[in-house]
Structure 1
Amino acid sequence: MKLKLGFSPCPNDTFIFDALVNGKIDTGGLEFEVVLEDVETLNRWALEGKLDVTKLSFPAYFKTQDQYALLNAGSALGKGVGPLLVSRQQPFPEAAIDEAAIILPGVNTTAHLLFSFAYPGARNKSFGVFHEIEDAVVNGMADLGVIIHENRFTYQDKGLMKVKDLGEYWEETMSVPIPLGGIVIKRSLGTVLYDQVDALIRESLRYSFDHYPLVSEYVKDHAQAMSEEVMRKHIDLYVNDYSLDLGPEGKKAVATLSGVYDRVHTGV
């Protein structure tokens, strides 16, 4: 059986799926047709039900729970891993944020939800691909930007300064880890395939952990010219025990974020 599988080219995802999609583990007869796209494209495709198994941001999952089930393996959760709000100007006055022009990495991203949680009054928002946000702020296209992924390690090199760590604000306020993204499977595929794919993702990740700190050619090929040092920082930050299994604490964090999502979108 062949399943359509989507994930991002970022090192955390390619690290998790490398062994699964490159024949390094026995997949028990399952084949995967792989599509690599940025997370907001994957979010949009999830809303369309385009893929059988896909990485997505948790807000996109909350919108598609009737169609997709969250796997226990493959998620990105943790502490100290959240998006950062950055600016050219420092200090940027807190009182000016609601009226500032802000660029974010996508309507359905967790970064957008965490920003809305911290700044519910901000309305002057635009959206772009995550790796273009630094330059948009540097070039004056926006007053502020919300950065994710490897840009956490590069924004200072471009002369940008941190206004707020949105993940730190979440952790301090809610006392749970930050749920960034998960892996889901179509409910229509049934529980047997759910269990099989979940186990394969866990086995694939264990394979990568067993060979770490080696960075495979698959990860390097899709890492958008970043250095191996940045690749490892990226993996260290976003891939952890929650990626092997959400567990009770991870599931509690997702449920907490779901409650915040409901409040943000209902105004309650």
Structure 2
Amino acid sequence: MNIAIGYSPCPNDTFIFDALVNGDIPTNGLRFSPVLEDVQTLNEWALAGKLPFTKISYGVLPLIASQYQMLPAGGALGMGVGPLLVTTPAWLAANGNTTPKTVIIPGANTTAHLLFSWAYPQVTQKRFAVFHDIEDAILRGEADAGVIIHENRFTYQQKGLVALCDLGNLWEQQLQVPIPLGGIAVRKDVPLAVALQVNALIQQSIAYSWRNYPNISNYVQCYAQAMEPTVMQQHIELYVNDFSHHVGAKGKAAVHTLIQVYQQLHPQSSYNNPVFIEEPA
């Protein structure tokens, strides 16, 4: 059986899926065709039901719940992993702690957008861009501020930007749960036995990569483009953690909290579907 699986080219995702898609672990007859895209593109594809297995932002989950459930493995959750709202020192000096009027966000359906909307509901002048374009757009003066994710949280100071708000810390302090950034969704037409098999293989793939760490494979490096090795390591160590192996009760509670926040922001929405696939006892 050949299975298409979507994930981003970011080091945490390529680290997780490296062994799975490159033949480093036995897959018991399953073959995988990886499709690497920016997470917002994957979110949009999930809205259309395009891939049977795909990384998504948890922010889009309420919109795809009729088509997808989540795997317990392969996700990005944790403490201290959240998006940052950043600006230029000049804007900060001129405006202090006032709320920015115009903000660039890495995708309409991302968890970053959900967290920003929760923290700054009064901001309505938003535009969306691919995450790696946001720092330069702020520096060009295209918006007052921007929300950054992924490795940009390690590089924004080098670019000459300053943080206005750590949206992740705000979430953690006020809601007392980890931040559920993204996870692996499985389309509901996939048999449960296959979903469970893929989930177990993802766990084995993660374990294989950790056994070889701190060596970073050519596969991870080639998609990381010009990222420095130290930034790759920081990225992996921050976003690939125990929650990536299995979301656990604490992680599931965080996802349910995020869904509740989504419903507060979108009162017309409803969510009555089991979030995660059923695991054997």
Instruction: Tell me which interval the TM-score lies in, with the shorter structure as reference length.
Output: over 0.9
Equivalent runs, 1:194-209 vs 2, <5 Å: 194-209=195-210
CA distance 1:68–1:221, change in 2 (3 Å)? same
| Match in the other structure for 1:55 | 55
1:95 aligned to 95, 98, 101, which one?
98
| Match in the other structure for 2:141 | 140
| Match in the other structure for 2:162 | 161
Q: Which deviates further from its counterpart, 132-141 or 86-95?
A: 86-95
Residue deviations 1:180-234 (CA, integer Å, cap 9, x gap): 0000111111210111010000110010111111101100000021011100000
Q: TM-score, normalised by structure 2?
A: 0.93
Counterpart of 1:55 in 2: which secondary structure? strand
Output the amino acid matched with 1:17.
F
CA distance 1:224–1:162, change in 2 (3 Å)? same
Q: State yes or no: 1:214 paired with 2:225.
A: no
Structure 1 residue ranges (4+ consecutive) displaced by more than 3 angstroms after TM superposition: 91-96
Q: Distance in 1 between matches of 2:222 and 2:266?
A: 38
Q: Distance in 2 between matches of 1:74 and 1:96?
A: 35
| Match in the other structure for 1:70 | 70
| Match in the other structure for 1:264 | 265
Q: Distance in 1 between matches of 2:61 and 2:99?
A: 32
1:267 Cα deviation from its structure 2 partner = 7.8
Counterpart of 1:90 in 2: which secondary structure? helix
Equivalent runs, 1:169-248 vs 2, <5 Å: 169-248=170-249
| Match in the other structure for 2:80 | 80
| Match in the other structure for 2:277 | none
| Match in the other structure for 2:9 | 9
Counterpart of 2:266 in 1: which secondary structure? helix
Output the amino acid matched with 1:197.
V
CA distance 1:90–1:258, change in 2 (3 Å)? same
1:93 Cα deviation from its structure 2 partner = 3.5
Q: Distance in 2 between matches of 1:202 and 1:38?
A: 23
Output the amino acid matched with 1:95.
T
Q: Distance in 2 between matches of 1:41 and 1:267?
A: 25
Q: Distance in 2 between matches of 1:183 and 1:14?
A: 13
Q: Distance in 2 between matches of 1:35 and 1:46?
A: 13
1:65 Cα deviation from its structure 2 partner = 1.3
1:31 Cα deviation from its structure 2 partner = 1.0
Output the amino acid matched with 1:156.
Q
Q: Distance in 1 between matches of 2:155 and 2:58?
A: 25
Counterpart of 1:235 in 2: which secondary structure? helix
Q: Distance in 2 between matches of 1:265 and 1:225?
A: 39
Residue deviations 1:150-171 (CA, integer Å, cap 9, x gap): 0001111111100000000000
Q: State yes or no: 1:152 paired with 2:153.
A: yes
Output the amino acid matched with 1:2.
N
Q: Distance in 2 between matches of 1:267 and 1:190?
A: 31
Output the amino acid matched with 2:81.
V
Residue deviations 1:45-94 (CA, integer Å, cap 9, x gap): 00001101000000212211111110000010000000000001225534
Q: Distance in 1 between matches of 2:99 and 2:262?
A: 24
Counterpart of 1:167 in 2: which secondary structure? helix
| Match in the other structure for 2:130 | 129
Q: Distance in 1 between matches of 2:240 and 2:99?
A: 35
| Match in the other structure for 2:42 | 42
Q: Distance in 1 between matches of 2:124 and 2:74?
A: 33
Q: TM-score, normalised by structure 1?
A: 0.97
Q: Distance in 1 between matches of 2:136 and 2:181?
A: 23
Aligned pair count?
266
